[in-house]
Amino acid sequence: MACPRCERANENLDHILRECPVSVETDRNKRVHERQVKSGREILNNIFSYLKECRFRSSSRVVARSIEGVVLVSRTVLHKDIDSAFAAEALSCF
């Protein structure tokens, strides 16, 4: 189904939040006009807190595509308390 905002691409979560030019500009303008623009320090703190939350986590992802490259099935699994690259690699073998 085509995106109702830009009518250029298929509507999916990634398109709406990151790719759709109408959504991206609308969000930016809303933040600017409502004075919700964050400073570089605030953005940096958000990134560091996110990375801190992701520490000791690993994920596995499997994607099956058709010959044309269309995603048929995808699955992501988050693994908690993975404390080393060795443990993550061992887990990926299963």
- Looking at residue 53, what is its pLDDT? 66
pTM of the model: 0.31
- Looking at residue 94, what is its pLDDT? 61
- Looking at residue 31, what is its pLDDT? 72
Cα torsion 68, 77, 19, 17: sign: positive
Question: Residue 4's closest CA among 70, 24, 12?
Answer: 12
> What are the extents of the domains in the chain?
37-93
Taking the chain (94 residues) in runs of 10, the rounded mean pLDDT of each run is 78 76 77 70 75 65 83 80 70 65
- Looking at residue 71, what is its pLDDT? 84
pLDDT in tens, 2-17: 877 788 777 777 777 7
Element (H, E) at 24: helix 21-33
- Looking at residue 54, what is its pLDDT? 62
